[in-house]
Amino acid sequence: MTTGEDHKTSGVGKDLIVYFCLLALAGLQFLIAYQDISASQMFVRMLIVAVVEAALALLFFMHLWENRGLKWFVLIFTVAVILGMQYGWTDSYRLLDGAPWAK
Amino acid sequence: MSQAEVTVGAHAGLMEEPTFSVPAKKMAMWLFIIADSATFAGCLVAYGFIRNATPNWPRPFHSITNVAIMTLILLTSSLTMLFGVTSAQKGDKAGAFRWTMITAVAGILFAILHIREWMGMIGEGATLFQNPWGTPLFSSLFFSITGLHLLHVTGGVIALIVVGLRYQGGRYKADDLEITGLYWHFVDLVWMFVVPLVYLLNLSH
């Protein structure tokens, strides 16, 4: 049986692990920046790492992991809004390359 | 039994549970964070749109040293904030105050490095409306996005100092420190997206 004090101690240990994971992931982003790949490939890789970093920070640093209802509330609202913003990407390609989808 | 206890007892069935069992103040901070994440997402998507639609986008950054140090400081400040909140929840008032002030100092250090970087870019001829590297949209977006983040860091530092002092003075509780911590972690979270999109993708090789 664990006491409240044990829980707090293990909580600090968990925070340290998450912190070092975040540092490693941030380092990975810097390594990707020096890879000899196209800008779009670099963008996708960096974005995936950033999403993993954000998920770790949200779940463990902001303690969203401990509240199931709030976790889904935040996730659904935020993801829905961010996904809704993606409607304009095709237009940015149209500006760059003409109107490929208008043909 | 006092009159107050009788009154509360009579209305106990009518009192609602807080949403998701989260206290109202904390829920308000979560709603603010959701709204603010939409603001930053809007800025970053607009940046991505313009970057994608602009040929020969400038890549003016030569070194990652400054931004790497800034990232390290901000990530570490999130950890010190967690230590502060944990100390407060354990009832260690002095420890909580100390860690909160260390977090605030880290925030000030981050802001100083950020302004130093801005001054370097301004010294090279970059302003909000023009820059020597190509499309003026680059510096408009760079200063707008990083400026919005810097504004959040500055607000966070002020909040940390005020809440930390009031917590030490006994006016605020551990919960208030935790809520300020949520905001600080959010500022850190936003930086995780600003670094790759605004800095690392514009690194000259």
**Euclidean distance between CA atoms B153 and B150, whole angstroms:** 5
Q: What is the pTM of this model?
A: 0.87
Residue range A44-95, pLDDT digits in tens: 999 999 999 999 999 999 999 888 888 888 888 888 888 888 877 777 777 7
Q: Which residues of chain B neighbour A34 with C-beta distances below 8 Å?
A: 203, 205
**pLDDT at residue B146 in the model:** 97
Average pLDDT score over residue span B10-34: 80
Residues belonging to chain B with any Cβ–Cβ distance to chain A shorter than 8 Å: 20-22, 30, 33-34, 37-38, 41-42, 45, 48-50, 52-55, 64, 68, 71-72, 75-76, 78-79, 82-83, 86, 89-90, 182, 185-186, 188-189, 192-193, 195-197, 200-201, 203, 205
Task: Evaluate if residue B4 carries a pLDDT over 80.
Answer: no
**pLDDT at residue A91 in the model:** 77
Residue range A1-14, pLDDT digits in tens: 344 444 455 578 89
**pLDDT at residue A83 in the model:** 84
Nearest chain A alpha carbon to B50: A92
Task: Evaluate if residue A101 carries a pLDDT over 80.
Answer: no
DSSP summary character for residue B57: -
The verdict on A69 touching B (C-beta cutoff 8 Å) is yes
Task: Evaluate if residue B102 carries a pLDDT over 50.
Answer: yes
Please report where in the chains the tokens 């463990």 appear, as a residue. Answer: A60
**pLDDT at residue B13 in the model:** 56
**Euclidean distance between CA atoms B163 and B84, whole angstroms:** 12
Q: Which of A12, A34, A50 sits opposite B86 (nearest CB)?
A: A12
B157 close to B104: Cβ distance less than 8 angstroms: yes
Task: Evaluate if residue B5 carries a pLDDT over 60.
Answer: no
- The residues near B61 (Cβ < 8 Å, ≥ 6 apart) are B67, B199, B202, B203, B204
Average pLDDT score over residue span B115-143: 92
**pLDDT at residue A69 in the model:** 86
Mean of per-residue pLDDT scores for chain B: 91
Residue range B146-156, pLDDT digits in tens: 999 999 999 99
Average pLDDT score over residue span B63-92: 95
Task: Evaluate if residue B75 carries a pLDDT over 90.
Answer: yes
Q: Which of A22, A74, A93 sits opposite B34 (nearest CB)?
A: A74
Domains of chain B with CATH codes: 20-202 (1.20.120.80)
Amino acid identity, position B160: L
B159 close to B187: Cβ distance less than 8 angstroms: no
**CB contact burial B133-159 (16+ within 10 A = b; e otherwise):** bebebbbbbbbebbeebbebbbebbeb
Q: Which of the four pLDDT bands, split at 50, 70 and 90, describes residue B91?
A: very high
**pLDDT at residue B22 in the model:** 84
B195 close to B67: Cβ distance less than 8 angstroms: yes
**pLDDT at residue A2 in the model:** 41
Q: Tell me the domain boundaries of chain A.
A: 1-66, 67-103
Task: Evaluate if residue B140 carries a pLDDT over 90.
Answer: yes
User: What would the two tokens of residue A80 be?
Assistant: 């829905």
- Could you say which residues from 7 to 46 on chain A have a Cβ atom under 8 Å away from some Cβ of chain B? 8, 11-12, 15-16, 19, 22-23, 26, 29-30, 32-34, 39, 42-43, 46
Q: Which of A11, A26, A78 sits opposite B34 (nearest CB)?
A: A78
Average pLDDT score over residue span B55-79: 93
φ/ψ of B203, rounded to 5, equals -85, 130
CA A9 to chain centre: 27
Instruction: Give the SS3 label for residue B61.
Output: strand
Residue range B155-202, pLDDT digits in tens: 999 999 999 999 999 999 999 999 999 999 999 999 999 999 999 999
Neighbours of B46 (CB within 10 A): 15
**Euclidean distance between CA atoms B57 and B63, whole angstroms:** 18
Between B114 and A67, the higher pLDDT residue: B114
